[in-house]
Amino acid sequence: MKSKTKEQTLPKWFDGLLYTNGETVTNKFSGAEVYLTGVELSMYDFIMGTQFIMEMAPHTVTPDAFSELL
């Protein structure tokens, strides 16, 4: 039986780096490791970077900054 695979895509609003190669990432809380494809890693890095900014400099995140992303 043939399995169908769906091509991974990022949301239309995504304007970050698009990695062509995947990489293994480690959960900083549990230590669990998982391999992410290039597309998955692109979104993961975007989310982790956004989280870092929110934790380290929340005053820099304004409604105007969010509207520029969308």
How far is 42 from 29, CA to CA, in rounded Å? 21
Domain residue extents for the chain: 23-69
Cβ atoms of 45 and 17 closer than 8 Å? yes
Residue 61 has pLDDT above 80, yes or no: no
pLDDT at 34: 97
pLDDT digit string, tens, across residues 19-42: 999 999 999 899 999 999 999 999
